[in-house]
Amino acid sequence: MGSSPPPGLSPLFRPVGPICERATPYQLASARRKNGRNVIRDDRQDPAVVVFRRISRFARSIAALALVALAIVALPSTVHAQQDTVRGEYGWWQLRCSTPAGAQNEQCVLIQNVVADDRPELGLSVVAFKTADRTAQILRIQVPLGVLLPNGLGLHIDGNDMGRAYFVRCFTDGCYAEVILEDQLLNSLKAGTEATFTVFDTPEEGIGIPVDLGGFTEGFEALP
């Protein structure tokens, strides 16, 4: 769909390709509610249970990630954005904006963070934004260092397999996968209830990390 992605960006989440044929198939992690939180487990790893909590209102973590997101989008690594501000909250999503140093226009991101209760090193940050020139809409996912990169990042929306994306770069704070938000994926995110991103510790073991999609539509529409 649409034009080819700009250099440095992976394609839209798509059906499993050759990169995934080398990996052992995995089952989608199942989710249930416990005390108002998502309990995620790999169906093959009973009784192992990972409980994730959303930390999108943890301002310091979000501010730091938002600055990283803005810096990577359009600026050299030596240039830093000014302090960002919260422009709105939409469910577990936050709209944060700042003006990068030397830039004339403000840039904004929609962000949600999730972390495991019993494994603080295991978490995920999802950032949606429009490029500075407004020519593309991007979904960037940050995962911890140490995940198995060749297996890519899996995505299910309300149980529907959206395929996998490639990791495109790693920094000291984690590794990043990026996809262009084409209409099909964007509409699925807007219509969905929960997205499950899957990272791999080993080729055989995938860990599903839930992201609440409530408020995503309103937050995304609020992006300038």
Q: Decide: pTM greater than 0.85.
A: no
9 falls within a domain: no
> E strand or H helix at 216, and its extent?
helix 216-222
Tokens representing 90?
A: 């939409």
Would you give the distance in Å from CA 196 to the centre of its chain? 10
Residue 36 lies in a domain: no
In a domain, 116, yes or no: yes
pLDDT tens for each residue of 3-23: 333 333 333 443 333 222 222
- The domain spanning residue 163 has which CATH number? 2.60.40.1880
Report the number of distinct structural domains present in the chain. Answer: 1
Parts of the chain with a pLDDT under 70: 1-83
Residue 33 lies inside a defined structural domain of this protein: no
196 inside domain: yes
pLDDT the model gives residue 103: 74
Calpha distance 147→199 (Å, rounded): 7
Residue 129 lies in a domain: yes
Does residue 136 sit within a domain?
yes
Residue with tokens 């000291």: 172
Domain carrying residue 122: 84-222
Return the CA Rg of the chain.
Answer: 17
59 falls within a domain: no
Distance CA 144, CA 140 (A): 13
CA distance linking residue 75 with residue 132, whole number of Å: 10
Q: Would you call 12 helix, strand, or coil by DSSP?
A: coil
Residues near 131 by Cβ (< 8 Å), separated by ≥ 6? Answer: 73, 74, 137, 138
Is the alpha carbon torsion for 204, 40, 173, 79 positive or negative?
Answer: positive
